[in-house]
Amino acid sequence: MKLYDPIKKTEYTADIPTPHGSGEGLLGVPLFLDMHTHVRYPQFEGYDTLGEACLKGGFGICTIQPNTKPRLERASTIEIHKRASQGYPVKFIFTASLFGEDTSMGVAYSTDGLEYTAEQLWYALNTHTPRLLMDHSQIYEIEGMFYPGAPYPSYRPLRGESIAVFRTVMLGIEAGWSRFHIQHITSPHTVENIQHLKKYASVTSEITPHHLLLSAEDISTPNMKINPPLAPEKDRKTLIDMTKKGLIDVLATDHAPHPPKPENYEKAPYGSSHIEIAFSAFYTALGDIHTVVDMLTVKPAKILGVDIPPMPENMVVIDPKATFTVDSKEFVSLGKNTAFEGMTLGGKVVGVKIGGTWRYWEGQFLEV
Ligand SMILES: [Zn+2]
């Protein structure tokens, strides 16, 4: 089997015994790290089915966002989630809400899924010990449901995000913060603004599979109701070019499982479930396997300061030539609400090994 090492940026051949077959034509890469995962513990999707979905998708480490119920805003709540997430092969790490206790329990603070005003942001930045801040940048002061293509009376401007990154980073610098990670960016203006802000602080960014593969013009089901919303097609194309040029640091899933959404867009919750097919969506959008693997392994690991488990004891095996049609009925995630339903994707995770043991191979979860 060929292996790709994203640290040395080299491919080499190694004799890797697999549960089935020779491994010819397959590529082994390190386990993926997702910087942006949503769990619905204890109401809906817990760590058991989320863990299987992550495993099937090749993710060995997932970073849980704080908009759980109750929110991850106290050390005691994070501790409950940490305990609930133990005992699965996938490792879960946690962010803490920037609007809760000042705690070092998480790997970072996050504002994802939480609405805030400039005033609340300023207060929070000044009452928390500075560390990495993961920010869902948006101008919530402007009213509206902001969903292009959907029948809303008003919408928040899509480009509010590009203003909001300035607000977060500039206020953060003034309050003594120096590391910012801008979540799920959707506008080329945001990418340009981040390049400017990199002069003053460590500012990184991520993009999701739905913002790379789908645009506002595609919206045809409430499962495509996402926050932040899908961008116009011309922005999506520019974002693909910017990702290929290395102007965006990380690929992150924003996996957001929900029970079946109501047909009414206004009542439907935001988000798409897709962590088990995320690699394929990224590969289909970007077309270069090394770029995708780098942005799912070494790049997020460096930002979060965590280690990617070493190969070959830990690895994801990819069939770059496989194609398949997304069918949410095949998902192990309880969230069947995928924005990618019916799409044909190229490249597939066929096997996952963790701690020297194969845990998944071609649709089967393997007992230890
Ligand atoms: Zn999110």
Can you give the CATH number for the domain in which 88 is found? 3.20.20.140
Query: Which residue bears the tokens 């995770």?
Result: 349
Active site residue 254: yes
Q: How many other C-beta atoms lie within 10 A of the C-beta of residue 64?
A: 26
Distance 110 CA to ligand 1 centre (A): 10
Question: Ligand 1 centroid to 60 CA: how many Å?
Answer: 19
CA 321 – ligand 1 centroid, Å: 30
Please list the alpha-helical segments (H only) found in 8-147: 47-57, 75-84, 118-127
Tell me: cis bond preceding 309? Omega within 30 of 0 counts.
no
The CA 28 to ligand 1 mean position distance, Å, reads 29
Distance 17 CA to ligand 1 centre (A): 37
Choose, from 112, 135, 254, 294, the residue flagged as catalytic: 254
Contact 346, 286 (CB under 8 A): no
Q: Which domain holds residue 148?
A: 2-365
Q: Tell me 295's DSSP state.
A: H
What does R_g of the chain's alpha carbons equal in angstroms?
A: 19
Number of domains in the chain: 1
pTM of the model: 0.97
In tens digits, the chain (368 residues) has pLDDT values of 999 999 999 999 999 999 988 889 999 999 999 999 999 999 999 999 999 999 999 999 999 999 999 999 999 999 999 999 999 999 999 999 999 999 999 999 999 999 999 999 999 999 999 999 999 999 988 776 655 555 555 667 788 899 999 999 999 999 999 999 999 999 999 999 999 999 999 999 999 999 999 998 899 999 999 999 899 999 999 999 999 999 999 999 999 999 999 998 888 999 999 999 999 999 999 999 999 999 999 999 999 999 999 999 999 999 999 999 999 999 999 999 999 999 999 999 999 999 999 999 999 999 87
